[in-house]
Structure formats: structure tokens, C-alpha cells
Structure 1
């Protein structure tokens, strides 16, 4: 299936001396949505970013955390039913490692911390870390040994690195570094993801593309992974990203290409070759609408009921109309794997 620019844009292009390439026109694999969460009822840009928590003792009891950037953090089960709401303020992005989650809170200019109880399947807010910087935007979490990392990203192109020992969470994290990742355009960063197995962190510059940082050397210069201009499927805004993790550091990076309603998949290991592009279309029975203008996403390779090779969860801008009853869609990785010919 191909996506095309609106007629007005095509007419402008036709008047140019040399016809411009249509960045929207690219082959995509249509993947049907499997499940959708309860909507964040009302109009406006509310839903933003999900994170999947796997209950190791009982995978069927796994959870999806989802931010409402006007209100707080929602918790859903794998059937999409709302289980919990935490009124913690305007949290924009959320991520987790193990039973500890972090969210970027631009109401309090802090990193908000949460624990997940695997016995009761409940999420609890345990505190906030002031970032001493306005409007933390995106965030991602990492875990290396017993060191837990939280990386909030900012609209001025900066990424902060906070770290704390997992046995000393109550002591609070330490700020290790502030890195100027954004280099071009509007500099704005949001999506990011830690790849601990390969010692790297991927960060999205919304108007430019994807960068990677050296997890073992925060002073190293950011390295370009892909750009919008390379025409591999990215368009502005470059938004949510996460990893399907395989064995021995193998796997795939998935990145939301927001304005084109699609997702670009790359090899996790360098040179990070593009492996294909997919869209999320309506469910096979037509009961769940297609996904448009995705902001945040999350990927998990753990086998779950109904998702034998892992799951992808993406924000949907409209349910079905843009800015109305936004929610999150759950997608079976098996279908993506087959459509794109992934190992």
C-alpha cells in the first residue's frame, strides 16, 4: 500500500523546475490491529506513549502503561481494559525496566518514578526527581547490572542521563551527563530507547532522523543512524521508538514516522540497515479502526497470550477521527515479522 501527498502539495511540486520526490510514496506492509485500549474519552491530544510490563510469573496478567499528557498515567490489561489511573500530572512519555517505570512529567519538571507489584498487579507512584530543566519531553529507561538509567529528552536537543543503583532507589538518582543530541532543524528530541545488549541508546530528532549514543561513553559524539532525507521511510515527526530484542544482541529497532502514519524497522546491530515499513490498519473484523499519526510506541519480544513472538503497542491519534477518543492499539509481532521477512 502506498501513501501520497495531498493534492495541493502535488500541484506545488508539479510547478517546480525539477519534480520533488514524494517522501510519502513508499511501499508499506499493512498489519491489522489486534486489540485496542479503552479510549481517553473526549477531544484533544491526550494519549501519548505506552510501555509494556511483562508479568514473568503470569504473562496473561501483563500490563500496558499509557500516558495522558493532560492528566496522568493509565494502566490497562492485555484485553485493553482500564485497570488503574494515577493522577500524577502531565506525564508525556513512559518507559520501564523490570518492575520500575519512569515518566517525563512536564507539569512538575521532573522524572516521575513508579513501581509495579507483580503480586497485586498494581502500579504505584513513589516519587519525583526534579530535572532542574524545563519541560522534560521524552524519556527512556535502561538497566545495566544494578544501575538503572533514566534519560529524559528535551525540545532544545538535550538528553539528560540520570542513574541510580537498584538497591538504593530511595536515595534518588544522580545526574551523570547532559548531551547535545539534536543538531539540525528545530533540534527537538522525544523518542529514545536503550539497547543494553549492544551498548547503545537510540534517540529521535523529530525534524531530522535517528541518532545513537554510546552507552559506555557519554562523552562520545552522537552517530547518525538514519535521516528523513535518506528516504528510507522516515518523515517528520520522528516520534516513538523501541526494540524487539532477540538473542545475542540481535533484533530490530522500530521507529514511528508520524506524519506518514507508518513505522520503519531497522536491524538493531550496525550498520542498522532498514528492513521495511509497515502501517497498522483496521482489525480483520473491522471492529478496531486503523492507526493514524502515531506518537509513542513500545515493543516487547516476550511471548504473551495472543502474541506468541511479542507485541507492539502504538498510540492512535484518532479513534476514529483525529483528536477524538485517542487510545492505544496492540499488534502481533508475528504478522510484522512475516510481512517484512524478518528472522
Structure 2
């Protein structure tokens, strides 16, 4: 989608709030002039305080999706794992410096979770492997948090189709990978990490009608959220025995969400609310929803500060807590689709800035 970068937006602009659950007419996005709609769709501005080094792949849409590991002992030594979907996986420190690169080929989305791997506690990294568009796989790595390196532990087959979105869930000591195929099929893969070589099996299949990608699981409620790009955001029961019927959370309407809906992230706020953050790619914004009642509570943009604005954002991630002096309350990482004159990268936002404009 072409950039819709705008200028002249004031940081003092207020959110447009709704009350109760929004009533929105669904649309596929076809034939809609999203650029014209976005022109009248202001949002408060926050600015990035950090950014990663640019990905190595030039002249292509390459940077895509990030995941965050928080170092509980030394928060400023936390790590970001992010995809170059044309080449592999990058590991960055919070200064933005690349610490490691793994040549994994075409891996699209990434997530991580702390769990037991081959009998040892560790950080599991899972990426949607689309090297073979006819055979979806989950590529699995251990993140060595001391050396900031990724150690490959294997891959798990997840049936036919093109792997696209990826998120992880933990329940009763088990880890599931949710693999979103490009056609809207969602496969829940139960991972077996007990042995040296991991394995897995598809325990459930769900379906959305059109192209989908971004996903995230609320571990507390065991709910899975999935972005159907031209339609909106849906919720599923994430438990293997749960219902496979989707519940609508929000629709593409040109106001709250502008197609494509891309990355999703969750922010468990200190006041007890959990916010769903969505990349509203069509107007270079980010929408916020309270997951308690699917209520829209605002939107914002990452504007042109010292490090430049974000535009055409694909993947996002949010992690709250202490990440050191630059991010004492939490960190948001957003892919930047236009980082000229350099190749694409990821911008880092102090979550306090988002809290101030909400």
C-alpha cells in the first residue's frame, strides 16, 4: 500500500472516543478511497526514542514483525527478535544495534515465550516459515539471552498452505503455536519440546474468510486475536478444546481501523485494563481497544521526531514493565515500512508517551 504520510498534526489533538460497543458496517475495502478517508482522520502524535539498525535486504518490503524479551535482572539488556522476511531473523539490543542474524530464509512473523526446552528453562522463539509456500512450517529457536544469539532447534510441519502470521500461547505447562495461513486458515499446533528434536501436531483448525496475518494471545483469558486485513479483528477461544467460532472485535471502517489491519499486540496496563493495539496500516496509525468489552478507546501515530515517523507498519509488539531508563514503564516496537534513504527497520517507543496521549 502506498504511503499516506501526513504532516502538521498537533500532539495536542484529542482522541475521538466512542461509548459502549461500536456499531460498524463491515467492508472488504475494495473500491474505498482510504487515502481520502485518512486525510480527515487525525490522531495524537508520539515520537520514537530509538530505532534498530536497518535490515540487510535492500529495495524490498523486508522488515516485518518483532518480538520482545525482557531481561528481569538487567532490563536495559533486554532483546528484540525481528524478521527480515526475505532473509531471516535479527536480534537487536535496546540501543538498536544488531547482535545476531540467522539465515532462515523467508520467515514472516515471530513470537517468543519462556518455557522448558529439552528439559531446561529457556526462551523459545517461533517463526512462520514460508520458504515453501505449499507446506507451512513453524521454525523453532532457543534465544541464548546471555550471548543474544539464536540457536536453531528444529521445525515443525503444520500442513499445506503458505505460513504467514505467528503467535504463541502457554496453558497448563504446554505451548501452542498459532499459525495463520495467508488465506485466513488458522492452525493450532501443540508443540512437544521435551526431546532434543521438537515435534508438534495440529490439534485444531479455524478459518477466516480472507487474507489474515497478525495475531496475539491473551494468556490470562486464553483468547486469541487475529487480524483479517481488509475486514477487521476477530477473537477465538485459544484453548485446544474451545469453540472455533470467531467473535468480531472491531471492523475496518475508515475511522478506527483503515485497511490493512496488520500487527496486533496486548498491553496489560497497571490500572487492570488490557489494551489491544492494532496497526491501522492504511492511514499509518495504531488503534486501541479495551478487551474487556471490545471498546475502542483511541488511536495515535508515531510521528516525525528525531528518528522519523513510521508508515505502512506491518508487525508491532508491546511489553510493559521496566526496560531501563529509556523505557521505564514499557516498550512498543513498530516496523517502519519507509525508512528512506536506508532500508526498512523498527522504531522503539517509550510506552509512557502513548499513556500521555490516551
TM-score range, shorter chain: 0.7 to 0.9
Partner of 2:303: 281
Q: State yes or no: 1:236 paired with 2:272.
A: no
**Number of equivalent positions:** 314
Once the two structures are TM-superposed, the CA of residue 247 in structure 1 deviates from its matched residue by 5.9
Q: Does the aligned pair in 2 maintain the 1:232–1:274 contact within 8 Å?
A: no
Instruction: Give the alignment partner of residue 48 of structure 2, picking from 3, 22, 33.
Output: 33
> For residues 21 and 59 of structure 1, what CA distance do their matches in structure 2 show?
40
Q: Does the aligned pair in 1 maintain the 2:125–2:141 contact within 8 Å?
A: yes
Relative distance call for 1:277 and 1:47 in structure 2 (3 A) is: same
Relative distance call for 1:40 and 1:211 in structure 2 (3 A) is: same
Instruction: Give the alignment partner of residue 348 of structure 2, picking from 307, 311, 330.
Output: 330
Instruction: Give the alignment partner of residue 55 of structure 1, picking from 58, 61, 71.
Output: 71
Q: Deviations over 1:189-223 (max 9, x none)?
A: 10000001122110000010000001234433100
Q: Deviations over 1:150-178 (max 9, x none)?
A: 11101211100011355457441221111
Instruction: Give the alignment partner of residue 330 of structure 2, picking from 301, 306, 310.
Output: 310
Relative distance call for 1:81 and 1:196 in structure 2 (3 A) is: same
> For residues 224 and 169 of structure 1, what CA distance do their matches in structure 2 show?
40
Partner of 2:37: 23
Once the two structures are TM-superposed, the CA of residue 250 in structure 1 deviates from its matched residue by 2.8
Instruction: Give the alignment partner of residue 72 of structure 1, picking from 85, 88, 96.
Output: 88
> For residues 134 and 142 of structure 1, what CA distance do their matches in structure 2 show?
22
Q: Deviations over 1:64-87 (max 9, x none)?
A: 111011100011000000110001
Relative distance call for 1:249 and 1:153 in structure 2 (3 A) is: farther
Relative distance call for 1:37 and 1:20 in structure 2 (3 A) is: closer
Partner of 1:225: 249
Relative to total residues, which structure has the larger helix share, 1 or 2? 1
Correspondence 1:202-217 to 2 at 5 A = 202-216=225-239, 217=241
Q: Does the aligned pair in 1 maintain the 2:157–2:200 contact within 8 Å?
A: no
Q: Does the aligned pair in 1 maintain the 2:68–2:81 contact within 8 Å?
A: yes
SS in 2 for 1:64: strand
> For residues 272 and 188 of structure 1, what CA distance do their matches in structure 2 show?
22
Q: Which has the higher contact order (CA 8 A, sep 6+)?
A: 2
SS in 2 for 1:173: strand
Structure 1 alignment gaps of length 5 or more: 5-18
Partner of 1:257: 280
The worse-fitting range, judged by mean Cα deviation, of 58-67 and 84-93 is 58-67
SS in 2 for 1:39: coil
Partner of 1:44: 60
Q: Does the aligned pair in 1 maintain the 2:176–2:189 contact within 8 Å?
A: yes
Q: State yes or no: 1:290 paired with 2:309.
A: yes
> For residues 295 and 233 of structure 1, what CA distance do their matches in structure 2 show?
17
Once the two structures are TM-superposed, the CA of residue 308 in structure 1 deviates from its matched residue by 1.3
**TM-score, with structure 1 as normaliser:** 0.86
4+ aligned runs moved over 6 Å, structure 1: none
Q: Deviations over 1:81-124 (max 9, x none)?
A: 01100011100000111211100010043110011123333221
Instruction: Give the alignment partner of residue 194 of structure 1, picking from 214, 217, 231.
Output: 217
> For residues 294 and 312 of structure 2, what CA distance do their matches in structure 1 show?
24
Structure 2 alignment gaps of length 5 or more: 7-32, 115-122
Relative distance call for 1:21 and 1:57 in structure 2 (3 A) is: closer
